Amino acid sequence: METTVQRIIDITELALRDAHQSLIATRMGIEDLTGACRDLDEAGYWSIECWGGATYDACIRYLNEDPWERLRTFKRLMPKTPLQMLLRGQNLLGYRHYQDEVVERFCYKSAENGVDVFRIFDALNDLRNIETSVRAVRKVGRHAQGTISYTVSPIHTVALFVDQAKRLQDMGVDSICIKDMAAIIKPQSAYDLVKGIKEACGPDLRLHLHVHATTGVTMVSLMKAVEAGVDCVDTAISTMSLGPGHNPTESFIEMLEGTGFGTMVDLERVLRVKSYFVSKIERYREFLSKVTGVETEIFKSQIPGGMLSNMENQLRQQGAGDRLKDVLEEIPLVRKDTGYVPLVTPSSQIVGTQAVLNVLMGHYKVLTGEFADLMLGYYGAGPGEKNPEVVRMAIEHTHKEPITCRPADLLKPEWEKLRSEALPLPGCNGTDEDVLTYAMFPQVAPKFFARRHEGPLNVGTDPLTGVSEMHPAEGHQGVITGPITYAVTVSGMEHKVTVAPFNPSTT
Amino acid sequence: METTVQRIIDITELALRDAHQSLIATRMGIEDLTGACRDLDEAGYWSIECWGGATYDACIRYLNEDPWERLRTFKRLMPKTPLQMLLRGQNLLGYRHYQDEVVERFCYKSAENGVDVFRIFDALNDLRNIETSVRAVRKVGRHAQGTISYTVSPIHTVALFVDQAKRLQDMGVDSICIKDMAAIIKPQSAYDLVKGIKEACGPDLRLHLHVHATTGVTMVSLMKAVEAGVDCVDTAISTMSLGPGHNPTESFIEMLEGTGFGTMVDLERVLRVKSYFVSKIERYREFLSKVTGVETEIFKSQIPGGMLSNMENQLRQQGAGDRLKDVLEEIPLVRKDTGYVPLVTPSSQIVGTQAVLNVLMGHYKVLTGEFADLMLGYYGAGPGEKNPEVVRMAIEHTHKEPITCRPADLLKPEWEKLRSEALPLPGCNGTDEDVLTYAMFPQVAPKFFARRHEGPLNVGTDPLTGVSEMHPAEGHQGVITGPITYAVTVSGMEHKVTVAPFNPSTT
């Protein structure tokens, strides 16, 4: 079939970040990644995503690897292709809001160490939470990509998302990404949304689409997005794809044949990357996601597959393994009470945990501190109207007042304090990078600094001999046990929410 | 999103036949299938595929189960939904051409025992090879579906396939199926082909599309086929899907939301079938296909994933594990010499085996009897011009003349002879069904008849205890060792081609 290619579709490769996060809990050590870098760099991708919250967390928590050194290594090995990271706006890679100076310093240091493209999102789509980082990234001359956290609800119309896109454009972002973290964007929705944004923002504003593969429909959504005018899509090399991961890069390239669309990506190079990861992923079999097929139930609960199986485990530990169905039915109700927040870190964990508590303890008999904060505006403003009755309960439980300002505006300057706490830690090297590590991971950073000189661990296992060179430190298996007495914990994809009973001092 | 459904797309469910053939080597015993039947029957499928060559073969070879009894069981448990089978035209479910009376008797008996829809194909797309069975099926009042074995080559244009569709229509088929057994139909090709056939044959001739999922692009091809006017698609329940199997039923249903297309299939019922198979497929883990991700290399070799890994094993046994790449490059050349036959049982095995021999022994130094027959027209007429040099070699090797007639026209009446051979076999029950079993599987049938009274085996393994109730008989692991002295064997998806050196008496 001879057809002229009329439009080039760019590709962002996810193998080094989201793919190995979604499939093997971000456990790949740097030495198992470097061998793919040359082919990745030569293949002709628009960007290579290789850094983000879970990468950073796993590096210091499990791999005794300096995440900044990983970033510099990638930059050295992939000098041609822009490197991309995922940034949680004002949360950076941590789980609380940081004061603006910390956010700015993080962006500058990330740029300096090698990040070219910053994809910046906020779980609530509260754009005030990404303003500071967008501004900082642009100031340092890097690509600031504003993100729409995609979700489905009665209030999330195409018009609402298009309005958000317009506001991102007004903010001065270099491009926009529709981020479908739960694989729930169906083909027609992808078409309508891309079309709507392109029409509203003009052809010159780049539009990217990030989807997961879990529900089995999103490869078709990519095709419809291409037809509607999307500029770039996210895919992952086939040997690191599907299940809770993403659609395969090679399939995307092949799919376009004859359609009038094409890519600049060199399939031969891509196939070498594919072969490379065959043996590598075998080494991490013990971390492999249990979800391997498709899960269309996600369309209803909007809870990603990884979190689902985790929730099931947690319920079973509580002797309530038979309540999963109740929890899955409760989640949409709790989400409705929040005004339909998108479910993505940290809101997915907050809503999921509250749903578990509602089922086990009774309807809002117990509120987690995080859930109360979400209801009171301490994570930012959500898209819809909250249930006033539940807001009232949150006030009563916490004795805190609802806020409407940008949450970070309540924060005092904190850089010097963080710096003075970090520098004396044994092993801290005195750099701003180390201060940022401490700022974002205050529990883990001290242990990491102290052990860093021992060098990176490789937690993979030789698939032939079954010999593990090094097991991860005990007690760090990705399930974080909160201080809650009834011991309900939920570990999300970025496994970081502790479930605490109402306790004003924790918020 | 509120959209009116303007056109209903029908679905054929593959779980009971092609899905478990592609994923677990057709090893599921009847007792692991019956539990799904009620929900399958109530779900609203257009048809349920549940019978075919590998089903029949596995029943008598591994499961000590009467395939006719299996069919009757399905009919009893699924009285509402049409049951569908895959028939290899004049080959029936065997590996040679049968004389017309045998073909007719098989079709009548299949209809009598429960088959409503007969999907009839020929590997070479030689329509003379399906005429007799189409006529017989129509005579007995069942649905005769004519099939286009889809392939990609310089001569396989849309026009060529459309012409074939017209000829099928002229033959009087009730519907047409495009059968993409290697998952190589790309979205634009699916669109063009469906559009072309619909325009040529008119809107009233039903058009079905069968695709596998192996290359990761065919879910999109289904969408494009729907947009182009296809009436029915084949999918498999998600827990029995993907890899060398098919696209997930639930995903297909969900995918259509908002597009103006819809299905009559009840998603709640489908999800019950999904849950049912979760535990069942676990019991057959040892038979599970090694191919689980996508394989886009198939676009080049057109060799299905299952056959690829098998070929690799065989080469390794010959101490030639490093020659796979050579073989994969040889396959398209051999295929070109045949005049670009589609690669599907048995042509895929014949071409694949000859390619192996060419690489190991030298260019056409040795010809298999099957390959020589293919070159000389004994499988029927192919679509393109054969390499005359290779035809000449086939004549020299075999001392046989090329033929141009319908191969079955050379056969003498054989029913009475088959009957007189079958009836004296110990355990033969004297029915025409038993005679047909003997006709199609003369090696296996005697052993099966002798053991049938012991009842069906279940070759699954309890996933908790690891206890297998019954292992398959030794020496029957799906790899057929041919009489060839240099011991090259290739076991395809329906594992039945023996590789013999030139020997006129075998053909």
Q: Which CATH superfamily is domain B7-287 in?
A: Aldolase class I (3.20.20.70)
Q: What is the pLDDT of residues B478-494, one digit of tens each?
A: 322 332 222 333 333 33
% of chain B at pLDDT higher than 70: 90
Mapping DSSP to helix (H, G, I), strand (E, B) and coil, where does residue A313 land?
Answer: helix
Cβ-based neighbour number of residue A275 at 10 Å: 12
Domain B298-408 CATH assignment equals 3.40.50.1820: no
Nearest by CB: A294 against B215, B248, B259: B248
Report, in this order, helix, strand and coil percent for chain A, each rounded to 5.
Answer: 50, 10, 40
Average pLDDT of the residues of chain A: 89
Mean pLDDT of all residues in A234-241 = 96
Mean pLDDT of all residues in B187-201 = 98
As a whole number of angstroms, the distance between CA B48 and CA A491 comes to 41
Which residues in B lie closer than 8 A to residue A238 (C-beta atoms)? Answer: 216, 293-296
C-alpha triplet A119, A121, A122: angle, nearest 5°: 170
Average pLDDT of the residues of chain B: 89
Interface test with A, best of B251, B263, B292 (most A CBs within 10 A): B251
- In the structure, what pLDDT confidence band is assigned to residue B471 with cuts at 50, 70 and 90? very low
Relative to beta strand A10-13, strand A232-235 is parallel
Interface test with B, best of A251, A257, A289, A301 (most B CBs within 10 A): A251
What radius of gyration do chain A's Cα atoms show?
A: 22
Residue B161: C-alpha distances to residues A356, B122, B462 (Å): 56, 14, 47
Which residues in A lie closer than 8 A to residue B250 (C-beta atoms)? Answer: 216, 294, 296
**List of E strands, A236-339:** 261-262
Indicate yes or no: CB of A242 within 8 angstroms of CB of B294.
Answer: yes
Interface test with B, best of A156, A219, A263 (most B CBs within 10 A): A219
Domain ranges of chain A: 7-146+207-213+230-287, 298-408, 422-452
Most confident of A482-486, B324-328, B333-337: B333-337
Q: What is the pLDDT of residues B300-320, one digit of tens each?
A: 888 765 577 667 777 888 888
Q: Does A504 touch chain B (CB under 8 A)?
A: no
Indicate yes or no: CB of B258 within 8 angstroms of CB of A189.
Answer: yes
Torsion of CA B143, B146, B151, B152, to 10 degrees: -120
Residue B346: C-alpha distances to residues A286, B41, B92, B214, B313 (Å): 40, 32, 12, 20, 20
Q: What is the pLDDT of residues A368-391, one digit of tens each?
A: 999 999 999 999 998 899 999 999
Q: What is the ipTM of this complex?
A: 0.90
Mean pLDDT of all residues in A25-44 = 95
Q: What is the pLDDT of residues A181-202, one digit of tens each?
A: 999 999 999 999 999 999 999 9
Q: What is the pLDDT of residues A411-456, one digit of tens each?
A: 999 999 999 999 999 999 999 999 999 999 999 999 999 999 999 9
DSSP code for A413: P
Mean pLDDT of all residues in B404-410 = 97
Mean pLDDT of all residues in B408-427 = 98
Residue A26 tokens, joined: 């971000």
Q: Does B125 touch chain A (CB under 8 A)?
A: no
Helix axes A100-113, A67-77, angle to 10 degrees: 40
Q: What is the pLDDT of residues B424-451, one digit of tens each?
A: 999 999 999 999 999 999 999 999 999 9
Are A178 and A146 spatial neighbours (Cβ–Cβ below 8 Å)? no
- In the structure, what pLDDT confidence band is assigned to residue B468 with cuts at 50, 70 and 90? low
- In the structure, what pLDDT confidence band is assigned to residue B397 with cuts at 50, 70 and 90? very high
As a whole number of angstroms, the distance between CA A286 and CA A268 comes to 30
According to the model, what pLDDT value does residue B464 have? 72
Mean pLDDT of all residues in A18-27 = 90
According to the model, what pLDDT value does residue B144 have? 98
Indicate yes or no: CB of B217 within 8 angstroms of CB of A271.
Answer: no
% of chain B at pLDDT higher than 90: 76
Which residues in B lie closer than 8 A to residue A224 (C-beta atoms)? Answer: 223
According to the model, what pLDDT value does residue B469 have? 55
As a whole number of angstroms, the distance between CA B355 and CA B357 comes to 5
Q: Does B227 have pLDDT greater than 60?
A: yes
CATH class of A7-146+207-213+230-287: alpha beta
